[in-house]
Structures are given as structure tokens and as C-alpha cells.
Copies of this chain bind each other. A is one copy, B any other.
């Protein structure tokens, strides 16, 4: 069976996976880019975005595993964009430009489905109103035997963890205190009992935590 994986998911010391007040200029709200600084400095990220060289240490190694063996992604609507409620139009196609980084089918969970959008480079956004289980069924079918990545945001990752659908969880703890935003860990008491846990701290100051299904 293909696995369900979460990668490069940053949280603050107080467990927030994103800040407060997301908008077009601030995908992570008041957190700015502080949650993802470790990631945007890696060669993996910079080459993915056509920005040339970057850091090639442990952070990069962790970041690189993001795409390996992935055949589809599931993301929440708040990762896809800052809009809420019914779509005013269908012009918004994500933060990632005309050739998004995914290069696979991407299932966007929303209570307001809209027509699928085929982007350059193999990314197609599908908009579905579905339970985690049903979304995963569709994503697995689209992934053709490869793994499915749960892309975030925090509410989406939390829902898949609560439903015990995640096999691999890579969380990066960033040593900042955000104070407000959306928490990852709420309602997941005892989560660690379902996983083997490994951690490593890197010179950038973050700690990579890897939970693999036991």
C-alpha cells in the first residue's frame, strides 16, 4: 500500500503551523517567513524555484525527500489561497505561479468545489468537498501506486493525523514563539504512541522531528 506522508511542516515552539491574519502578501500571516527560513535557504527549495544554489547540509537533505515517490498531494483550501467562503471567481490558481512545484495531481479540500485547473508541468488542481478518508481514496487512485503527500496547512494535517491516516510525519520545530495562529497538535493526545520518533537539530537552529508509523 502506498504511504501517506507529511514533509517540511514547520511549527513554532508553541506549536503553531501558521500565524494569524493570512492574506495575499502574507501566506503565513504575522509569522512572515520565519517558519520557513530554514527551508527557503536549502538547495532543494532554491532549485525547485529556479533560484540557483543553496544550503546543502542536513536541512537540505530533509527538504529533498519531499518529492521522492510522491504521486499526489492533498492540501487544505487555506494552503491553496487566502480566500474564504464561496469563490468570487476562478482566477486564483494558487501561490505557485503558472508552473507549480507539485508536478502531480493536487486535491484541494474545500466546501466550495470548482472546476479542476490543469497547470503547466503536470500539476492539476482538483477541488473536492470530502472527508479525509474519501480525499485519500481519490488521491491514491490518482497517484498510481505512489505515495500521497498531505501538504498542509495545520488544520488539514491535524485532521489526517486525528483520522490515523498518516504514515510519516516530518515536523520542523523552529525556535520562535508565535503566540497566535493555527495549532498543529491540538486534539492529538498520545499521538506519539503510534509512531517511532527520531530527532535531529541542525546548525540553522531548527529541530527536525520524524514520526514513522511503528
A177 CB contacts on chain B under 8 angstroms: 185, 188-192
Number of copies: 2
A179 adjacent to chain B (CB < 8 Å): yes
State A211–B197 Cα separation when bound (angstroms): 24
- The yes or no answer to A33 lying at the interface (CB within 8 A) is no
Which residues in window 89-144 of A have CB below 8 A to B? none
Encoded as 1 (CB less than 8 Å from any B CB) or 0, chain A from 165 to 193 comes to 00000010101111110010111111110
Which one of B13, B188, B209 contacts A15 once the chains associate, using CB atoms below 8 Å?
B13
Are B186 and A14 in contact, CB atoms less than 8 angstroms apart?
Answer: yes
Residues of A in contact, count (CB < 8 Å): 30
Q: Within the assembled complex, what's the spacing in Å between the Cα atoms of A201 and B205?
A: 11
Residues B179 and A189 in contact, CB atoms below 8 Å apart: yes
Inter-subunit contact B179/A187 (CB<8 Å): yes
The reply to whether the CB of A207 lies closer than 8 angstroms to some CB of chain B is yes
Of the A-B pairs whose beta carbons lie under 8 Å apart in the complex, a sample of 28, sorted by A's number, is A13-B15, A13-B171, A13-B173, A13-B185, A13-B209, A14-B15, A14-B183, A14-B185, A14-B186, A14-B188, A175-B192, A175-B197, A175-B199, A175-B209, A176-B190, A176-B192, A177-B188, A177-B189, A177-B190, A179-B187, A179-B188, A179-B189, A179-B190, A197-B205, A199-B201, A199-B205, A200-B201, A201-B207
